Amino acid sequence: MSVIPIVPGPVASNGRLATLGVVGGGQLGRMFVHAAQALGYQTAVLDPDINCPAGRVSDYHIAAGYDDEQGLAQLMQRCEAITTEFENVPAGALATLAAHRPVAPAPQAVAVAQDRIAEKAHLAACARDSSVGLAPYVPIESDADLVRVPDALLPGILKTARLGYDGRGQVRVADRAELAAAWARLGRVPCVLEQRLALRDELSVIVARGADGTMVHFPVQRNLHRDGILAVTEVYLGNVPTALAEQAIAATRTIAAQLHYVGVLCVEFFVVDDGRADGALVVNEMAPRPHNSGHYTIDACDVSQFELQVRAMTGLPLPAPRQHSAAVMLNLLGDLWVRDGRPVTPDWAGVLALPGTHLHLYGKLDARPGRKMGHLTVTAPTAAAAREMALAAAGRLGIAPWP
């Protein structure tokens, strides 16, 4: 993919602002819109929800489905370049857009991330090249596949090959009977069975890659998930052993390069117990977009993941980001707005009274359990201070503490 630099601000030739498009109107699209507008671009969002978070702040909102022909045509007509905010946009729709406008990431890269079977094959090849592990797995697409599952993969986790995220489409299984029941409950759709590993830690790495192959990365993020949803991200010097951090960064760069990726990419890793002091690194999955674990970059780095997304898709320079503050990020789920079955307002005044707190609410109108409503980033000069304030904020919000 070649990208002609799209200059921010007024375009002299026609007297109008360049417009960037994003398919998907959730919170990632909203933060992309803010970053694009800060650089002087207009924005257009394609999303069927008239109240979607990104559409409410964008210059243009095309309220249409992701595969709606008229909606796609409107997006192409308005925009000089287009991106996506989540991986479940139909790859065919992105291909239609890419036939007429620069689209980053490319439809082929998004298609790999949409299918766990294709994704596992790509990650397996990259893992061999970068000396990281991959959780043992097998695809399950038929009754014959179910019968051939090796005993060593149980207990395991059965995951739908498509449309799974935030713990959805995943079932823990202990034996063959539970595996068969789980596959039936998931509708006998194509799945991947992964061996359940003894996890010590969860990490993620975010890179941005330009069409010319230039690639930059953020520091390695240490993550805590609860019920399959990211709860806490910690990023500061020493949060991950140096050797593991270097290995994770190298593997992520390999994965992006071998996809000929353009844009922002996140790769998630597990650290598993293998008898060594630091454990062993295992690649888990990738997200072809900015990632929840990178939201801290808005407040703790000199360039955010969303600005790098704008820069990559427009062919602008990609500076190596610098983290200027230790950071802890808390996900704010809809559960915080309900207590003892009754609606409540979280103690924002108490949280914002704490030094270094940065509150981001996404403008969603309906707070539901498990729904991402916002995030809170706590920054401080030291890791200890950031953790102390983040734990204090969590206490005021009713979020359980973490180790």
User: Does domain 199-397 correspond to CATH entry 3.10.20.90?
Assistant: no
Q: What is the spatial distance between Cα 232 and Cα 229, in angstroms, rounded to a whole number? A: 9
Q: Say what the pLDDT of residue 12 is.
A: 47
> For each of the chain's 403 residues, which pLDDT tens digit applies?
556 678 786 654 555 789 999 999 999 999 999 999 999 999 999 999 999 999 999 999 999 999 999 999 999 999 999 999 988 888 899 999 999 999 999 999 999 999 999 999 999 888 877 778 888 899 999 999 999 999 999 999 999 998 766 567 789 999 999 999 999 999 999 999 999 998 999 999 999 999 999 999 999 999 999 988 999 999 999 999 999 999 999 999 999 999 999 999 999 999 998 878 788 999 999 999 999 999 999 999 999 999 999 999 999 999 999 999 999 999 999 999 998 889 999 999 999 999 999 999 999 999 999 999 999 999 999 999 999 999 999 999 999 999 9
Query: What class does CATH assign to 10-103?
Result: alpha beta
Q: Say what the pLDDT of residue 1 is.
A: 53
Q: Say what the pLDDT of residue 277 is.
A: 78
Q: Say what the pLDDT of residue 36 is.
A: 97
Q: What is the spatial distance between Cα 198 and Cα 298, in angstroms, rounded to a whole number? A: 33
For residue 32, the surrounding DSSP H or E stretch is helix 27-38
| Sequence-ordered list of residues with C-beta below 8 angstroms from that of 83, at least 6 positions apart, any chain | 20, 21, 22, 23, 32, 103, 104, 105, 263, 289, 309, 313
> What Cα–Cα distance (Å) separates residue 350 from each residue in 70, 81, 339, 396, 399?
47, 42, 17, 7, 14
Which overall architecture, per CATH, does domain 136-195 show? 2-Layer Sandwich (3.30)
Give CATH 3.30.1490.20 domain extents, the chain: 136-195
Residue with the two structure tokens 């007297």: 15
Give CATH 3.40.50.20 domain extents, the chain: 10-103
Count of H-run helices and E-run strands, the chain: 12, 22
For residue 381, is the peptide bond before it cis, meaning its omega torsion is within 30 degrees of 0?
no
Give CATH 3.30.470.20 domain extents, the chain: 199-397
Task: Answer for the pair 240, 222: CB distance below 8 angstroms, yes or no.
Answer: yes
Q: What is the spatial distance between Cα 122 and Cα 255, in angstroms, rounded to a whole number? A: 8
Q: Say what the pLDDT of residue 62 is.
A: 98
Q: What is the spatial distance between Cα 18 and Cα 74, in angstroms, rounded to a whole number? A: 15
Q: Say what the pLDDT of residue 165 is.
A: 64
